[in-house]
Chain A
Amino acid sequence: MYNGNKLSPFLKGVLIVGFLFLYIPIISLIAYSFNASKLVTVWGGFSVKWYGSLFQNDQIISAVKLSIEIALASASSAVVLGTIAGFVLARFKRYTGSTLFAGMMTAPMVMPEVITGLSMLLLFISLEQFIGVPSERGFFTIWVGHTTLCMAYVSVVVRSRLLEIDQNLEDAAMDLGARPLKIFFVITLPLVSQAIASGFLLSITLSLDDLVTTAFLSGPGSTTLPQVIFSKVRLGLNPEINALAAITVLVVGTVVLIANYLMLNAQRKREQAIAAAMREAAPVPVAG
Chain B
Amino acid sequence: MVETVKQSAVSQSETPYLRISNVVKKFGDTAAVDGVDLEIRKNEIFALLGSSGCGKSTLLRMLAGMERPTSGKIILDGEDITGLAPYERPINMMFQSYALFPHMSVADNIAFGLKQDKLGKGEIDARVAEMLDLVQLRKYASRKPYQLSGGQQQRVALARSLAKRPKLLLLDEPLGALDKKLRQQTQLELVGTLEKVGVTCIMVTHDQEEAMTMATRIGIMSEGQLLQIGTPAEIYDYPNCRFTAEFIGETNVFSGPVVVDEPDRVEIESSDLGGRVWVDHGITGPKGMQVWASVRPEDVHVHVVPPAAGANTAKGVVHDIAYLGSFSIYHVKLGSGKVVKSMISANHWHENNVKAPTWGDPVYISWRPDMPVVLTR
Q: Is A169 an interface residue (CB 8 A)?
A: yes
B97 and A166 contact, CB distance less than 8 A: yes
**A172-B152 contact in complex given A276-B147, A284-B185, C-beta closer than 8 Å:** no
Q: Is B213 an interface residue (CB 8 A)?
A: no
Which residues of chain B are within 8 angstroms of A166 by Cβ–Cβ distance?
97, 99
CB-nearest residue of chain B relative to A169?
B99
Complex Cα spacing A286 to B161, Å? 21
Which residues of chain B are within 8 angstroms of A270 by Cβ–Cβ distance?
146
A178 and B87 contact, CB distance less than 8 A: yes
Which residues of chain B are within 8 angstroms of A220 by Cβ–Cβ distance?
none
Complex Cα spacing A286 to B87, Å? 34
The interface size of chain B toward A, counting residues with CB under 8 Å, comes to 38
**A176-B193 contact in complex given A187-B101, A276-B147, C-beta closer than 8 Å:** no
A176 and B144 contact, CB distance less than 8 A: no
Which residues of chain B are within 8 angstroms of A182 by Cβ–Cβ distance?
116
Hey, what's the 0/1 contact readout for A167-202 against B, CB within 8 Å counting as 1? 011011111111100100001001100000000000
Which residues of chain B are within 8 angstroms of A276 by Cβ–Cβ distance?
147
Q: Is A42 an interface residue (CB 8 A)?
A: no
Complex Cα spacing A237 to B75, Å? 81
**A168-B185 contact in complex given A280-B149, A287-B136, C-beta closer than 8 Å:** no
A177 and B113 contact, CB distance less than 8 A: yes
**A277-B149 contact in complex given A176-B113, A286-B189, C-beta closer than 8 Å:** yes
Hey, what's the 0/1 contact readout for B172-183 against A, CB within 8 Å counting as 1? 000000000010
Q: Is A251 an interface residue (CB 8 A)?
A: no
Our pick among A173, A187, A281 for the contact of B149 (Cβ within 8 Å) is A281
Which residues of chain B are within 8 angstroms of A169 by Cβ–Cβ distance?
99, 101-102
Q: Is B86 an interface residue (CB 8 A)?
A: yes
Complex Cα spacing A176 to B160, Å? 9
A285 and B136 contact, CB distance less than 8 A: yes
Our pick among B99, B102, B147 for the contact of A277 (Cβ within 8 Å) is B147
Query: Most A CB atoms within 10 A — which of B149, B161, B192?
Result: B149
Our pick among A171, A191, A274, A277 for the contact of B66 (Cβ within 8 Å) is A171
Hey, what's the 0/1 contact readout for B142-157 against A, CB within 8 Å counting as 1? 0110111111100000
Our pick among B99, B150, B160, B192 for the contact of A168 (Cβ within 8 Å) is B99
A178 and B116 contact, CB distance less than 8 A: yes
CB-nearest residue of chain B relative to A288?
B136
Q: Is B92 an interface residue (CB 8 A)?
A: yes
Hey, what's the 0/1 contact readout for B204-239 against A, CB within 8 Å counting as 1? 000000000000000000000000000000000000
Q: Is A273 an interface residue (CB 8 A)?
A: yes
Complex Cα spacing A284 to B189, Å? 12
A176 and B149 contact, CB distance less than 8 A: no
Which residues of chain B are within 8 angstroms of A178 by Cβ–Cβ distance?
87, 112, 116
Hey, what's the 0/1 contact readout for B108-147 against A, CB within 8 Å counting as 1? 0000110011000000000000000000100000011011
Residues in B248-294 with C-beta less than 8 Å from chain A = none
B151 and A179 contact, CB distance less than 8 A: no
Q: Is A235 an interface residue (CB 8 A)?
A: no
Complex Cα spacing A179 to B193, Å? 29
Query: Most B CB atoms within 10 A — which of A166, A179, A187, A277?
Result: A277
Which residues of chain A are within 8 angstroms of B245 by Cβ–Cβ distance?
none
A175 and B92 contact, CB distance less than 8 A: yes
Complex Cα spacing A37 to B322, Å? 92
Q: Is B243 an interface residue (CB 8 A)?
A: no
Which residues of chain B are within 8 angstroms of A285 by Cβ–Cβ distance?
136
**A179-B87 contact in complex given A173-B101, A287-B192, C-beta closer than 8 Å:** yes
**A274-B146 contact in complex given A175-B92, A177-B116, A284-B185, C-beta closer than 8 Å:** yes
A191 and B147 contact, CB distance less than 8 A: no
Complex Cα spacing A280 to B85, Å? 40
Q: Is A278 an interface residue (CB 8 A)?
A: yes
Which residues of chain B are within 8 angstroms of A288 by Cβ–Cβ distance?
136
Complex Cα spacing A182 to B112, Å? 12
Our pick among A171, A176, A286 for the contact of B112 (Cβ within 8 Å) is A176
Complex Cα spacing A284 to B146, Å? 17
Residues in A109-168 with C-beta less than 8 Å from chain B = 166, 168
Which residues of chain B are within 8 angstroms of A280 by Cβ–Cβ distance?
149
A171 and B149 contact, CB distance less than 8 A: no
CB-nearest residue of chain A relative to B144?
A273
Complex Cα spacing A168 to B173, Å? 14
Our pick among B102, B116, B192 for the contact of A191 (Cβ within 8 Å) is B102
Complex Cα spacing A191 to B146, Å? 14
Complex Cα spacing A148 to B317, Å? 78
CB-nearest residue of chain A relative to B150?
A281
Q: Is B103 an interface residue (CB 8 A)?
A: yes
A277 and B146 contact, CB distance less than 8 A: yes
B117 and A177 contact, CB distance less than 8 A: yes
A171 and B146 contact, CB distance less than 8 A: no
Which residues of chain A are within 8 angstroms of B112 by Cβ–Cβ distance?
173, 176, 178
Which residues of chain B are within 8 angstroms of A190 by Cβ–Cβ distance?
103
B152 and A175 contact, CB distance less than 8 A: no
B268 to chain A: closest CB distance in Å? Answer: 49
Complex Cα spacing A52 to B101, Å? 53
Which residues of chain A are within 8 angstroms of B149 by Cβ–Cβ distance?
277-278, 280-281
B87 and A172 contact, CB distance less than 8 A: no
Query: Most B CB atoms within 10 A — which of A173, A182, A191?
Result: A173
B214 to chain A: closest CB distance in Å? Answer: 14
Q: Is B95 an interface residue (CB 8 A)?
A: yes
Hey, what's the 0/1 contact readout for B54-97 against A, CB within 8 Å counting as 1? 00000000001110000000000000000001110001110111
B87 and A177 contact, CB distance less than 8 A: yes
Complex Cα spacing A217 to B101, Å? 45
- Given contacts A174-B66, A274-B147, list 9 more A-B pairs with CB under 8 A: A168-B97, A169-B99, A171-B99, A175-B66, A175-B87, A177-B117, A178-B112, A277-B146, A287-B189
A-B interface, 8 closest residue pairs, ranked by CB to CB distance from nearest: A281-B149, A177-B116, A176-B113, A172-B99, A168-B99, A287-B189, A174-B86, A273-B147
- A-B contact list, 11 entries, CB within 8 Å: A166-B99, A171-B86, A175-B64, A176-B160, A176-B164, A187-B101, A273-B144, A273-B146, A277-B143, A277-B146, A277-B149
